[in-house]
């Protein structure tokens, strides 16, 4: 029941025998395709902190100063933040005044605050607040963070003033991978294996796992006026099933997709009062098994058939709720692009290349954004002339302009720097030394060449060269070739030399997965520190 009609007038209870409709006011307005307020809003409200997730310290400082509309000492700020519960230290101790003062004097936040002669802190008037009074993040991440902070499983499914939400949901995950396991508990999520891994066949999607999601998110909506506007900050195009499937696929480097929800915990509507349905309610109206085509002849990525165990994914998956919300958004977007790239490898290798590059671009943009720099500082680093031209423009206007153009900075350069930073090194199993083996020291040049193919495909309609979209051979090696080793190729009206065909798809898929997983580990380490 997550969608809403154009008038927000009613919400159907799917699957019920009674044709009842519930007219439930939506406190946050109609935001089609997103979860309602209980799943989105986390942070300060007039109700205090109960039932909401804490903010980062500088966000909490911003909110106190905005509400007080006066300069405050670090002690006053710390007391107010502690009282509202808007920030929690990892050791559980109350926030000290010294930590507040240290934060407002540390880059990049010091540009937003002033400290007067009496050590009272105020915001620079032209500086926008660090964050709106809620914590953005993917739905599955928000739910996992709520569970980590001790919010219990929600037992009601029809809270006041909120659209009907199931207290738990089940999704079927599909895969062609040989994944060994029986049962896995990850915070509010359970993974139950449905078929033995021996039943796998490369290119044939089977019902591999059942994902059960227990809801821990609070129901209280924020008070005050709400402005209806476009918002895609936490949007990645999927639900909790898609989110966990993509993360699992990235962690294991295997094809995993959700077919959608199959069961949910709701109330039976017959009788004098609603009562829980013990085994839940079947809900397969929107369930669609994902289509996966087997390879014609040899597979594009043969290592997808190698067996793995679910235990290999636990270490990475368990770090997900520890990430910053904005890092979690970038991670799930990149993971979904990556798994799409694996899924399409045999069906449409050309799209597979594009999807894998998109995964790197998403992560590289976030990596560049995560340098603890304001948009204006990024502008100075990437476009000095433009930053100089804005020196006489009001600070808030300059920041807004810098934020808008930040995505136009040299994407290829950011991507290559990102790959170099998190390079996993060559694959463990490779062809013997010779022309079929890619020279890893030439990785940067190869990425530049392949990125040019990607840009021509997207912007000029010049498709990826056919040799890069064909399965690798084993003509001169005991293992699949990593590169095109002939002098060149002419086919379908085009001609390419070997230097412009530097790497096969299976090597690039290995590289992208390794880079993204190393970046994921770095995000987790940064969050811990």
Angle at 398 between CA 393 and CA 403, to 5 degrees: 165
Q: Which residue has the higher pLDDT, 149 or 181?
A: 181
Q: What is the pLDDT of residues 199-226, one digit of tens each?
A: 778 999 999 999 999 998 866 544 445 5
Token pair 């070739």: residue:
481
pLDDT score at 292: 95
Q: Could you please report the per-residue DSSP string of 391-444?
A: TTS-HHHHHHHHHHHGGGS-HHHHHHHHHHHT---S-SS-PPSSTTS--GGGHH
Query: Could you tell me which of 177, 178, 158, 180 has the C-alpha nearest to residue 167?
Result: 158
- What is the model's pTM? 0.73
Q: What is Dmax (Cα atoms) for the chain? A: 80
Where is average pLDDT lowest: 101-115, 148-162, 228-242? 148-162
Q: What is the pLDDT of residues 23-41, one digit of tens each?
A: 222 333 322 233 333 333 3
Q: What is the pLDDT of residues 363-388, one digit of tens each?
A: 999 998 755 566 777 777 667 777 78
17-23 mean pLDDT:
24
Query: Could you tell me which of 250, 445, 462 has the C-alpha nearest to residue 359?
Result: 250
Residue 463: pLDDT band with limits 50, 70, 90: very high
Q: Could you please report the per-residue DSSP string of 26-45?
A: -TT---TTS--HHHH--S-B
Q: What is the pLDDT of residues 475-492, one digit of tens each?
A: 888 899 999 988 889 988
Pairing of strands 120-123, 275-276: unpaired
Provide the sign of the torsion angle of the four alpha carbons 180, 206, 296, 483, taken in this order: negative
Q: Which residue has the higher pLDDT, 69 or 483?
A: 483
Q: What are phi and psi of 375, to 5 degrees?
A: -55, -35
Instruction: Calculate what percentage of the chain has a pLDDT beyond 90.
Output: 47
Token pair 């509309």: residue:
69
Query: Residue 158 pLDDT > 90, yes or no?
Result: no
Query: Could you tell me which of 54, 104, 50 has the C-alpha nearest to residue 77?
Result: 104
Query: Residue 2 pLDDT > 60, yes or no?
Result: no
Residue 282: pLDDT band with limits 50, 70, 90: confident
* 319 token code pair: 């770090």
Rounded CA gap, 206 and 290, in Å? 9
pLDDT score at 36: 33
98-117 mean pLDDT:
85
Neighbours of 346 (CB within 10 A): 25
pLDDT score at 431: 92
pLDDT score at 51: 36
* 526 token code pair: 């940064």
């Amino acid at each position: 029941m997550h969608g809403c009609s154009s008038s927000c007038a009613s919400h159907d209870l799917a699957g019920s025998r009674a044709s009842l409709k519930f007219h439930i006011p939506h406190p946050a307005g109609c935001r089609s395709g997103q979860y309602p307020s209980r799943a989105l809003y986390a942070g300060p409200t007039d109700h205090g902190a109960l039932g909401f997730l804490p903010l980062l310290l500088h966000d909490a400082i911003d909110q106190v100063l905005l509400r007080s509309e006066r300069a405050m000492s670090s002690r006053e700020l710390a007391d107010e933040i502690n009282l509202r519960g808007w920030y929690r230290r990892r050791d559980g101790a109350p926030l000290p005044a010294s930590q507040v003062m240290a934060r407002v004097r540390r880059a990049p936040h010091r540009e937003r605050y002033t400290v007067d002669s009496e050590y009272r802190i105020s915001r620079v008037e032209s500086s926008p607040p660090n964050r709106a009074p809620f914590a953005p993040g993917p739905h599955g991440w928000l739910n996992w963070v709520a569970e980590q902070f001790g919010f219990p499983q929600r037992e009601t499914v029809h809270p006041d003033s909120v659209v009907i939400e199931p207290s738990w949901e089940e999704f079927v995950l599909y895969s062609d991978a040989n994944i060994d396991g029986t049962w896995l508990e990850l915070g509010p999520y359970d993974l139950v294996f449905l078929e033995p891994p021996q039943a796998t066949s490369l290119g044939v999607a089977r019902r591999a796992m059942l994902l059960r999601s227990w809801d821990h998110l609070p129901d209280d909506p924020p008070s005050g006026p709400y402005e209806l506007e476009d918002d895609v900050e936490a949007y990645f195009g999927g639900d909790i099933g898609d989110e966990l499937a993509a993360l699992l696929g990235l962690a294991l480097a295997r094809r995993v997709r959700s077919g959608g929800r199959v069961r949910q915990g709701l109330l039976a509507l017959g009788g004098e009062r609603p009562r829980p349905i013990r085994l839940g309610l079947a809900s397969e109206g929107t369930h669609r098994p994902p289509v996966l085509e087997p390879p014609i002849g040899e597979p594009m990525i043969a290592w997808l058939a190698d067996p793995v165990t679910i235990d290999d994914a636990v270490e990475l998956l368990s770090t997900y709720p520890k990430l910053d919300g904005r890092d979690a958004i970038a991670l799930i977007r990149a993971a979904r692009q990556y798994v799409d790239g694996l899924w399409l490898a045999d069906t449409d290798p050309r799209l597979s290349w594009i999807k894998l590059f998109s995964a790197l671009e998403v992560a590289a943009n976030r990596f560049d954004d995560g340098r603890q720099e304001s948009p204006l500082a990024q502008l100075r680093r990437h476009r000095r002339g433009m930053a100089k031209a804005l020196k006489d423009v009001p600070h808030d206007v300059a920041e807004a302009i810098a934020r808008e153009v930040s995505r136009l900075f040299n994407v290829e350069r950011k991507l290559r720097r990102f790959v170099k930073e998190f390079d996993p090194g060559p694959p463990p199993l490779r062809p013997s030394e010779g022309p079929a083996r890619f020279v890893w020291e030439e990785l940067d040049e190869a990425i530049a060449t392949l990125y040019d193919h990607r840009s021509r495909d997207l912007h000029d309609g010049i498709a990826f060269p056919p040799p890069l979209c064909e399965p690798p051979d084993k003509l001169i090696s005991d293992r699949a070739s990593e590169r095109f080793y002939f002098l060149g190729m002419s086919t379908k009206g085009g001609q390419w030399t070997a230097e412009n065909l530097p790497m096969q798809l299976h090597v690039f898929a290995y590289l992208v997965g390794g880079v993204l997983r190393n970046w994921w580990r770095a995000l987790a380490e940064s969050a811990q520190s």
